[in-house]
Structure 1
């Protein structure tokens, strides 16, 4: 196992001024700020990150990307860090769920839709490519939406990236749909599935 050098406490972070910092392993700092936090890697650690798990900038935020670092150096974390075993196991689950392609490339393990929210989302949005789908909605509190209705705006899905994020055509369309039907939706939701009643762009709204 390669030996990594210890590094000074980071002086900055992508998230805010650093309030607390702990070196979990040489060259791997866990930092927290008033707003967010995550793991910051030394140049040596970042260079050693497997390509499939490496994120540009060497800052791995605390919601999801931290798990890339723990998975990359899993054996070292188990042997030499104070990180609980449950958190190390969570890292594997986190990468598998949210970044399944990176997980498979690094581990060689196939990920199914049952084990990955991202794969489910990607398939769902891919099935709607070319369809007019809802991107935002307003309740009857809006002056252009009648009681019992939900006002929606949407665009045609043009493409879907590897994380299941859709790219939409620039043109948008407004419509009214049944409020209960909208409440029962599962995303993505097409205008056709809601029997949307197309309307002109309401006054003051973006075209």
Structure 2
């Protein structure tokens, strides 16, 4: 296992000045700021990150990207003697699989089933609707433009979806109404036509249907 050098704590980070710092392994600092945090790597550590897991920046934020670092140096971290190191390493592996499935597959050689990755499920759902209108916001019948028993939706055309399952929307928004039982906010994506939404004129009363 290569030997890495300890470095001084960073005095500035991508997320602002650190309020708390801890070097969890030589050359890997965990930092917390007033707004966010994550891992900051030395140049030596960044160069040693496996290519499939390495980001372009030395900053790996605390929500998801931290797990890339732990997985990249998994054996060293598990052997570090740190409290709960085994649990955190297991969590890191699961997190990379869920939120960076392409990187996980490239690094481990293991295919990630869609059932284990929200990113893969969302990406597949969006790809089926490219070129169609998808719902980007919804209002219940508490809104003054939505009749009782309906959900008012605003939709835009789906142009593409990126590797992380984020949609790219294009064109002007349209409005529509759909029966309350047909709209499910827990779906990865609601297609405007798929849920049976009826387009309305945004400047007209919400009960007015527009024949297309």
Fold shared by both chains (TM-score > 0.5): yes
Moved more, 75-84 or 105-114: 75-84
Question: 2-side partners of 1:178 and 1:25: how far apart?
Answer: 55
- Post-superposition, which runs of at least 4 consecutive aligned residues in structure 1 deviate over 3 A? none
CA distance in structure 2 between the aligned counterparts of 1:10 and 1:150, rounded to whole angstroms: 50
- 1:124 match: 125
The more displaced of 11-20 and 177-186 is: 177-186
Q: Is the Cα contact below 8 Å between 1:24 and 1:81 reproduced in 2? A: no
- Looking at structure 1, the residues matched to 186 and 115 of structure 2 have their Cα atoms a distance apart, in angstroms, of 20
Q: State the distance in 2 between where 1:16 and 1:175 align.
A: 43
Unaligned runs of 5+ in 2: 205-212
- Give the equivalent residue in structure 2 for 1:33: 33
TM-score (structure 1 length as normaliser): 0.91
2:168 corresponds to 1:149: no
**1:25 and 1:81 in contact (8 A); partners too:** no
Write the deviation string for residues 22-53 of structure 1: whole angstroms up to 9, x where unpaired: 00001100111222211110111111112211
Q: Distance in 1 between matches of 2:165 and 2:90?
A: 24
RMSD (Å), alpha carbons: 1.6
Distance 1:9 1:185, change over 3 A: closer
Compute the displacement of 1:81 (Å): 4.9
Superimposed CA distance per residue, residues 89-133 of structure 1 (whole angstroms, 9 cap, x where no aligned partner): 111110011111001111111111122111111111111112211
Give the length in aligned residue pairs: 203
